[in-house]
Amino acid sequence: MSILGAAAFFTRGTWMPMFSQTTIQSDTEEAAAPVTEPKVLKLTRQARKNLHLVAKPAKLQTYWRKIQVPGAVVDRPGYSDRGVTSPAVGVVTQVHAFPGDTVKVGDRLFTLRLFSEYLQKTQKDFFSSARETEFIEAELKRLLPLAEKGGIAKTKIIDLENQVSRQAAIIQGHRQDLLTRGLNPDQIEGIAKGQFVSTVEIVAPPLAKKRSNETTIQQTSFRMQDSQQTGFAYEVQELNAELGQQVQAGQLLSTLANHSSLYIEGHAFKRETPFLEKAAQNSWGIIVEFAEDDPAHWPVLDQTFEIRHLSNVIDTKSRTFDFFIPLMNQSRSYTKSGETFVVWRFRPGQRVRLHVPVEELKDVLVLPAASVVREGPEAYVFQQNGDLFNRIAVHVLHEDRLNIVLANDGSVTPGVYLAQNAAASLNRVLKAQAASGMRADVHVHADGTVHASH
């Protein structure tokens, strides 16, 4: 031990400065002021232009929290598509309307040569009943004066009148049967005179009647009214019969389409049912984003989208259920080679994104999503004051793809100007200015003293 003590004594000039230096360094570190995180950055006017920076005053408002649900545009059953069928057995001898053609109510679609034994027999019975009625009426006219003079019994006259009534009922039945088979009144009158029909024209049917609580649909180029079915009515969507093909009674010949009234079909999960049910009951407006839409080349879509009804069936594959929103379409027409064609704005199969309101948030601050930057659990906005931008910590209540909702907790005073975009860029600039050694929230006086900005 004495040897170690002697060695330490004679080498003290080497190791004692090390302890002294450590002590001095420790005291210096303790005396240094803590570094505060910068909160203010400075941007020139040119830099703000390069960032396309926009600042607007913050204001309190009411915001509806929404859920996003995917969907698609679909045909409206009973309104959009209309099948045209053959009234009797026959052969297609002419096709007058092809896919893409537009037709009016009453325009010819097909010409059929009839091979129906039932229809031929109906025409024969109708003609026979008509001729029999003429004979009975002639006999009644001849015997009526004799009955008035007492030459014959009046029971004979009563019997003839009853026969006329029975024949009239039979004729009325045949007439109605022929009408349902596609024959027009002029053809039926010709059958009564012996001019039997061997061909029948298939024409475009009348438009489906809208319910009393539905408004009249008006397109961009066409006007359709219940009282006047003129102009465009249908577009031939599909041709289901070919020239020379034999068709049976009730067989589909073609499919006509009128896409003026459609549905937006949303696909939601079962857990979202309470939100959708409440939105439907309270008639809350739904915001619809149409994919692949070009609103700049169409009139403004002035519609209020509300849920009409919810499906009570869950799809076994996707495990979703559907809900439906009425959609009134828009169209344009053009003429080529003497024919009119129509172009619809919304088409079945087009994808949509639905924003369904579920909760009302009152007295909150609503900003674009790009106006807030996050660092871990913290969220910041930037308040503009001339060239200076002050970073402020905020409390986010809700955010979606477009907007961020901030709580009115005093961190942001209503009326101050907040950056509406480029928050992430501003945050990077703030960190870069802090790393350069000179913070934007301080300035240097002429005497060399440094003070905070004021």
Range of the domain at 402: 40-63+360-452
User: What is the reported pLDDT for 451?
Assistant: 46
* Length of the chain, in residues: 454
Would residue 26 count as lying in a domain? no
Structure tokens at 58: 């913050």
Say whether both 244 and 278 belong to one domain: no
Say whether both 167 and 289 belong to one domain: no
Would residue 192 count as lying in a domain? yes
Beta pairing, strands 246-247 & 199-203: unpaired
Would residue 28 count as lying in a domain? no
Of 280, 255, 253, nearest to 266 by C-alpha is 280
Would residue 90 count as lying in a domain? yes
CATH number at residue 340: 2.40.30
Does the predicted TM-score (pTM) go above 0.75? no
Boundary-marking domain end, from 237, 254, 271: 254
Say whether both 229 and 313 belong to one domain: no
Say whether both 278 and 244 belong to one domain: no
Mean pLDDT, the chain, as a whole number? 82
User: What is the reported pLDDT for 111?
Assistant: 92
User: What is the reported pLDDT for 139?
Assistant: 83
User: What is the reported pLDDT for 3?
Assistant: 59
Boundary-marking domain end, from 254, 282, 305: 254
Say whether both 337 and 365 belong to one domain: no
Question: Under 8 Å CB-to-CB from 431, ≥6 apart: which residues?
Answer: none
Task: Kindly give the parts of the chain with pLDDT less than 70.
Answer: 1-38, 182, 209-231, 437-454
Boundary-marking domain end, from 234, 254, 274: 254
Would residue 442 count as lying in a domain? yes
Domain count for the chain: 3
Say whether both 91 and 239 belong to one domain: yes
Say whether both 179 and 132 belong to one domain: yes
Say whether both 115 and 214 belong to one domain: yes
User: What is the reported pLDDT for 216?
Assistant: 40
pLDDT digits (tens, 9 = 90+) for 103-158: 998 899 999 998 878 888 888 888 888 888 888 888 888 888 877 777 777 788 88
